[in-house]
Structure 1
């Protein structure tokens, strides 16, 4: 198994696109890239921990590649918005592809360049590509949120969904 960590705004919205793909062993919502160990949701939302909301994906590279996951990731985000995603604003919602090794870094960078070169977006692609940091699982009520709270999830997901339909 391998790991991937992606930040793309609210972690509630980042679980569902990957959740039932072949080769996905698990997806966990959590926090990464900050300076506080085991932060709480309230601490992260205070913008004082440096963390961003993210999802950690454990996957079988024999069934789905990191490259495939990166391609799916792009199609869940606005890669031209560095200071949040859709309704979710601030540093804790910034878009980031975290890598665990040089191969993942090369894949992410090549994919980002290909997206920039494609002309799909007129603005620059600003999603960060950074080394992985410790990942701290979010509280249990955040895990599988889209399944537990479908009505609230749909409300929070509406603007994202409209963007994705228009641009992807």
Structure 2
């Protein structure tokens, strides 16, 4: 099993696209990239810890490739927004790919370049590609939020502007 770590704004919206795919063992919401040990949601939301909301995916690379994870990731975010994602603003909601080894780094850089060259977006792709650091699991309330609070999750996803943006840039989808 391998790990993949992606920051895509609100981690509630980053779990369901990866969850329950063949070869994906688990998706955990959490915080990474910052300097504070064991941060809480409240700590991270201050935008003073350096942490980003992220998901960490445990997957079997024999059944689900890292390239496929990257394809799913890009189709969940606005990679041109340096100030957050949709109505969630601030550093903790910015996008980043956290690589766990040189192969992931190379594949992430290649996929970012392909996206930039595709012409899909008029603005530059600003998603960072950074080395993985300690990943802190978020509070239980945040885990599998899309399942535990399905109605609120669907309202949030639509109301944040994420759903409309993704549909406009990637085509109609199930959330």
TM-score of the superposition, structure 2-length normalised? 0.95
Q: Which runs of 5+ in 1 are unaligned?
A: none
Q: Which residue is equivalent to 1:126?
A: 126
Q: Counterparts of 1:56 and 1:126 in 2: how far apart (Å)?
A: 21
- 2:92 and 2:146 map into 1 onto residues whose CA distance is 20
Aligned counterparts of 2:95 and 2:155: Cα–Cα separation in 1: 21
Query: Aligned ranges for residues 53-92 of structure 1 at < 5 Å?
Result: 53-92=53-92
Aligned counterpart, 2:164:
162
Question: Aligned partners of 2:15 and 2:87: how far apart in 1?
Answer: 17
Counterpart CA distance in 1 for 2:72 and 2:38 is 28
Counterpart of 2:30 in 1: which secondary structure?
strand
What CA distance in whole angstroms lies between the structure 2 residues aligned with 1:115 and 1:150? 31
1:87–1:156: 8 Å Cα contact kept in structure 2?
no
How far did residue 90 of structure 1 move? 0.5
Q: Deviations over 1:31-68 (max 9, x none)?
A: 00111101011111111211100000000000001111
Deviations 1:61-102 (A, max 9, x none): 000011110011000000101211111110000100010111
Give TM-score, length-normalised by structure 1: 0.98
> Residue 33 of structure 1 corresponds to which residue in structure 2?
33
Aligned partner of residue 17 in structure 1, secondary structure = coil
CA RMSD of aligned residues (A): 0.6
1:21 matched residue in structure 2: 21
